[in-house]
Chain A
């Protein structure tokens, strides 16, 4: 590994030498993959969940343990629990059963995974990641595997196998890029989701996932922000907004009888640069209020994201339930959702099934344009970019894109809206209307082929730094490409995890590129009646041509 640069720790990006890190060794080891063991070292795994978080949501085997220890303090009957868990899931998920049986190991997925491209570890080839589980399936659930054993690619479920699962199922961001290329549509996210579900049965989980889960369960959001603090933090940000725009925005919280409930990830209220997007929503809603928008925020359903997805199907459902429950309690007509990646995978592919039918809500209609969102008539939840695109299409927003002229932008398709939804044109349409300088990254790195930020699915923590930087190479490299070619200095995305993780990634692979959200760009360009002469953007940076006036 990168020669330890002094003064840096492995959880800091300065520790990793770029030239060394990008010399990836793709040569697989000589030994059979069934005979190699993962090497846990700081930088390539995530710390275990704290017992209090497991207790909070009632997950089994809360205890202190460490992946680098020999003994992981598993329950005595761990093997039995896992095998029963597999059997149960084979009965419940056709995807799982099918994906265990039909892979031909053609290898088309191999170089599609960002962790493999940037790391070279053969077990990060999606095919082999799945084989980690498949080999056990063959041994314990197929006749050929039982009789022929290793000859049939089968192996026993051992303690070492469990450790390997933990290592590699938390080195997958469930981004589904490989599944686009698979001739049978085998979805590694499905394998990883179920793999993690199994690990959760014996108390193997990571704190970066379980702490947000426990927080979200109790306080309504991943960050653990309590209701009064949520309001205060909002007001604090809106003070900044007022400084920039001269307009005081006064949103409502938990207001019964509003027409629309707005839900967005708490990551955006918690830290930069998400905060600017968060302010952007408020600014847009303020603008629309006089045109008839009746919207409220909730502190109980103050999370759009869902780290339950990274834990188990059941946990996903438990956390997601709040959205409809709160919409029902407040008596709103429909729900508007903010920019977030996996949140929209959950809303699009799970929410209606898990917690619907949302028959107490109405089919969403834009109060400004009268547009019926027919594509959301069952789930009754609309994406903010759809909403805004519709407003722009109907000329309802007064926009001055030159206010973004100090920015040269590219757009990162977030994995989940891309491959779990097909959400490509909506954000682009908005961006092109609010921003004059927009350039796409190379085509193999955008849209359905987009590369992950390498921090999704609960991997975006600094202790995972080495893997994040490695997995971030394909995205980082594409950003660097447009940075050099077109002078791109901002990367927009519709995902709160992206806004947290891509900052590090860009700092490392394409220094000088800042991360932003689509609605920060919208709000920059939005001309609101009564605002003062705009000289700064939401980050207190001078607008183009306003450098001197903004210095005041």
Chain B
């Protein structure tokens, strides 16, 4: 059910777009209205969620330290896994966000008769995640070609780099292949690793299917069912310049692709995909381990009931005197 329902949902979304455009001719709805709405939901939802996180304070500085702290001056410290200054924190965060450093540490446990526990390196998840995110990013950048005129240099770079193999016409983009492989890997491990299957929710499968469908529809559009690319650009430029129009002759596959992308955008702020924003805010990663040198302030710190020394001495004074311990009151 956790697997099937998301699959059905994505198929249904595809069908809706197909029927809506090809059957009912609601090109305007699918080409203009829904993308606008989805983008708005994404924008507002994303900001709202981040603001909501931001409104909760960070009462304590609780970095998880993964290397030697700053200690005596002659002790060699690990600046990036145990940052002491803001600059070091920034580097730690960059390593985390761009290279998935924590995931890189991943190990695999193997328990054998004996018992003997062995720990092996397990970099596949790291590699798969990296492949997935970077191909996604590249594809996203490439798509900026549809929303800019003239097309900025970095978009062209991304295209050139992505098509560096120079195979076929139109040029084959490696990321198209990589993202399919990565999504397939991320999906298959959820299905075949028993523990992962056990913890996976419908909300884990749905984005995978959705992204897979988006990638597939994009690939189909580019390499197989040729689309009126000039018309597409006219439409997308119309969207960004707030003068939306629906050019003729754009295939239905484009509308399916666009609708699935819109769904992803609208779904984003309400889902685990928000880790995109959350990773920057994680208090175990984005704080310096310098509590003993720089006091951290808790905005809601409040006085608590304590057992004072006076109360303590009152209870034990006679015993203390007998034992020769100094007391405040004789």
Contacts and interface: CB of A to CB of B under 8 A. Distances in A.
B65 A418 contact: yes
Interface stretch (A68-76, A78-86, A313-321, A456-464): A313-321
B295 A352 contact: yes
Contacts of B82: 422
Given A180-B66, A231-B323, A353 B129 contact: no
Given A94-B57, A97-B53, A228-B325, A425 B75 contact: yes
Contacts of B285: 184-185
Interface stretch (B227-235, B245-253, B304-312): B304-312
Contacts of A425: 68, 71, 75-76
A183 interface: yes
A105 B62 contact: no
A513 B55 CA distance: 51
B71 A111 contact: no
Contact of B319 (A33, A228, A255): A228
Interface stretch (A24-32, A157-165, A201-209): A24-32
Contacts of A419: 64-66
Interface stretch (B23-31, B114-122, B166-174, B216-224): B114-122
B69 A423 contact: yes
B320 interface: yes
B59 A300 contact: no
Contact of A349 (B116, B281, B291): B291
B64 A356 contact: no
Contacts of A325: 306, 308-309
B116 to A, nearest CB: 7
B270 interface: yes
Interface stretch (A46-54, A274-282, A369-377, A488-496): A369-377
Interface string B288-307: 01111111111011001111
A232 B21 CA distance: 88
B316 A111 contact: no
A356 to B, nearest CB: 5
Contact of B125 (A108, A131, A321, A349): A108
A428 B313 CA distance: 40
**Which of A103, A106, A125, A325 is packed against the most chain B CB atoms within 10 Å?**
A106
A348 B53 contact: no
B60 A353 contact: yes
Prevailing SS type, chain B contact patch: loop
Given A181-B103, A181-B106, A322 B279 contact: no
Interface residues of B, number: 101
Given A349-B62, A422-B69, A152 B202 contact: yes
Contacts of A186: 282, 284
Interface stretch (B10-18, B36-44, B193-201): B193-201
Of B67, B81, B296, B297, the most chain A CB neighbours within 10 A belong to B296
A93 B56 contact: yes
B281 A144 contact: no
A179 B64 contact: yes
Contacts of B301: 353-354
Contacts of B141: none
Contacts of A317: 304
B203 interface: yes
Given A98-B282, A111-B109, A190-B62, A353 B199 contact: no
A151 interface: yes
Interface in B245-298: 270-272, 274-275, 278-279, 281-285, 289-298
Given A92-B56, A379-B291, A329 B309 contact: yes
Interface in A476-506: 477-478
Given A227-B325, A349-B61, A375-B71, 18 more contacts: A28-B195, A92-B300, A94-B58, A101-B272, A106-B125, A110-B196, A111-B107, A143-B270, A179-B284, A186-B282, A227-B320, A232-B323, A389-B72, A422-B67, A424-B68, A425-B71, A448-B81, A473-B117
14 contacts: A93-B57, A98-B56, A98-B281, A107-B195, A176-B64, A185-B64, A185-B283, A187-B284, A219-B316, A227-B320, A325-B309, A352-B295, A379-B293, A449-B105
Interface of B: 5, 49, 52-62, 64-78, 81-82, 96, 100, 102-103, 105-109, 111, 114-117, 119, 125, 129, 189, 193-204, 270-272, 274-275, 278-279, 281-285, 289-298, 300-301, 304-309, 312-313, 315-316, 319-320, 322-326
